[in-house]
Amino acid sequence: MGKGGRIVVKNSLSLYASDMNKKQRSSFESILTLLGGLVILTGLLVLATTNQWIGLSARDSWPISLLLPGIALFAVGLRVKANVLRALLIFFGIMHAFIGAFFFIFTLGVLQWSDMSKLWPVFILTLGLSFLATYWLSDRKTGKLLVPGIVLSGSALVTLLLLQLNSNLMNTRSVGPILVILIGIGLVIVPRLRKVS
């Protein structure tokens, strides 16, 4: 290759590298803009609650510390291209947002804290839904996310239903072992169902 050919190749590579840098910079700037907006929103909410400009007290608004970072992690996860990082950000974002929203229901007085004795499976359900959402919003090739999502979500829903029925046959002490049995059954059955289909 002559001197002119080397110059063309070198210029082409530098143009490609500068184009990639612009794309990466643009993506990074949009992520920073999103995170900056959520930090500003969080600051405004804290300012409004501490000065009692809105009907929430600082004591009642603590779930914001889970909810907003969860939304931020989820939104950033949707913009990231790397599969593993994308999956992690979406998973933890959804989990934080769901748990923050769940606690908000209690701090706002919609549900009483004493109801937690019958609603604790929501935490397991949140974990299962986080696996399922991560599966659907990432490459959908990783069945490793689908199996725990189905098992945990299904077991938590059955347990929630049993706790809400509050029959004499069902007391709170037997729910924990039943949940463990359901998770075990799910772990045995679900992988076999995937082989059949």
pLDDT by residue for the chain (197 residues), tens digit each?
555 555 554 554 454 445 445 555 666 666 677 777 777 777 777 777 777 777 777 677 788 888 888 888 888 888 777 778 888 888 999 999 999 999 988 888 888 888 888 888 899 999 999 998 888 887 766 667 888 888 888 888 888 887 777 654 455 566 667 677 777 777 776 666 555 44
Conformation bin of residue 111: beta by default, left when phi > 0, alpha when psi is -120 to 50: beta
| pLDDT value of residue 17 | 47
pLDDT for position 16: 44
Instruction: Tell me what pLDDT residue 128 has.
Output: 92
- Spell out the residues 6+ positions from residue 153 whose beta carbon is closer than 8 angstroms to its own: 125, 128, 129, 131, 132
What pLDDT shows up at residue 11?
53
CA distances from 152 to 3, 13, 179 (A): 64, 49, 9
126, 91 in Cβ contact below 8 A? no
Q: What are phi and psi of 120, to 5 degrees?
A: -60, -30
pLDDT at 6 (0 to 100): 53
Instruction: Give residue 43's pLDDT.
Output: 77
pLDDT of residue 171: 56
Q: Which among 139, 48, 157, 45 has a CA at the least distance from the CA of 85? A: 139
